[in-house]
């Protein structure tokens, strides 16, 4: 996946998830005035935390452009499968399977690291950027 926009200091202004469609739509307002959207398909794990009135992006990490270690993949996917009152745990076999899928670009790991507000992690099959 090629990212055309600069998301540093962009604001995440919308987040919509459909369990039925296994899709996630994130809407942004970038510092250059553009309003791109990221559409995730085949979502198998997702979590958005601390979405509020202001959600500023520090950086986006997206495989395969960003190479995650197997430990990072396990930590992020565990977090995405957890809740504020429930911490998921992953078997070593599942962790290895997911890490291999990400390494082979069969799955995409997406991490939005915030400066302020929402943090988002998603594991999916595809990501599309639209204007």
Phi, psi (deg, nearest 5) at residue 111: -130, 125
pLDDT of residue 59: 96
Residue 127 phi/psi, 5-degree rounding, is: -135, 135
How far apart (Å, rounded) are the C-alpha atoms in residues 120 and 46? Answer: 7
- For residues 21 and 24, give the distance between their C-alpha atoms in angstroms, rounded to a whole number: 9
Range 86-90, long-range pairs (CB < 8 A, 24+ positions): none
pLDDT averaged over 10-residue windows placed end to end, the chain, 131 residues? 88 97 98 97 97 97 96 95 80 93 96 98 97 86
Phi, psi values for residue 90, rounded to 5°: -115, 140
pTM comes to 0.94
């Amino acid at each position: 996946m090629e990212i055309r926009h600069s998301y540093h200091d962009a604001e995440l202004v919308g987040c919509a998830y459909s369990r039925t469609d296994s899709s996630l739509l994130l809407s942004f307002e970038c510092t250059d005035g553009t309003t791109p959207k990221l559409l995730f398909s085949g979502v198998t794990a997702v979590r958005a935390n601390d979405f509020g009135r202001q959600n500023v992006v520090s950086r986006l990490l997206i495989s395969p452009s960003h190479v995650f270690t197997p430990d990072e993949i396990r930590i992020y996917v565990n977090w995405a499968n957890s809740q504020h009152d429930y911490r998921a745990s992953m078997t070593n076999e599942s962790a290895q399977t997911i890490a291999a899928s990400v390494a082979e670009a069969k799955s995409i790991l997406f991490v939005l690291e915030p400066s302020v507000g929402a943090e988002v992690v998603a594991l999916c099959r595809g990501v599309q950027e639209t204007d």
